Amino acid sequence: MRSRICRVACIMALVLSPFLTAQNANRWAKTYEGTYFYARNTAAPVPFTLDLQVNGTSVWGRTSEPATFGDGSSAYLYANISGTISGLNISFVKTYDGTGGPRHSVQYQGTLTSDLSSMSGRWQVGSNEGSFRATAK
């Protein structure tokens, strides 16, 4: 009887573990390499690096990307990330820190894969919008 209960528990753990790992991960940190795309193809895709940390439902971090806009005083633009995670859904605001000129914020909404190895979704700032995708390094 004990062996049978153990087998059932082990099978359930194997079946549910990918979902539970992402769903209940209280603390984790990952670096993602990604690209964001403009919806109307008004500009070339932009690569970025996202250092992301999660504690409970809070998300924060920092991004860097080549300066494809701004005042030209820096080769890279940097931004701070602040947001939330619920299950595999992630929502955050990226606020440029002024390096190279920009200080505006961009809204991001996306979905993580169950193993947290990648994410994809949409971004928006004013009338500009597009998509993004990123993969853990």
Could you tell me which CATH number the domain at 2-136 has?
Answer: 2.40.128.120
Measure Cα distances from 71 to 43, 67, 74, 120 in Å. 17, 9, 8, 29
Phi/psi of residue 12, each to 5°? -60, -40
Give alpha helix (H) positions in the chain: 2-24
Stated pTM of the model: 0.80
Give the pLDDT confidence of 35-50 residue by residue, as tens digits: 999 998 889 999 999 9
Q: Where are the domains of the chain?
A: 2-136
Q: How far apart are CA 19 and CA 104, in angstroms?
A: 35
Name the one residue in this structure whose structure tokens are 């990604």.
Answer: 34
Give the pLDDT confidence of 82-112 residue by residue, as tens digits: 999 999 999 999 999 999 999 999 999 999 9
Q: How far apart are CA 33 and CA 16, in angstroms?
A: 28
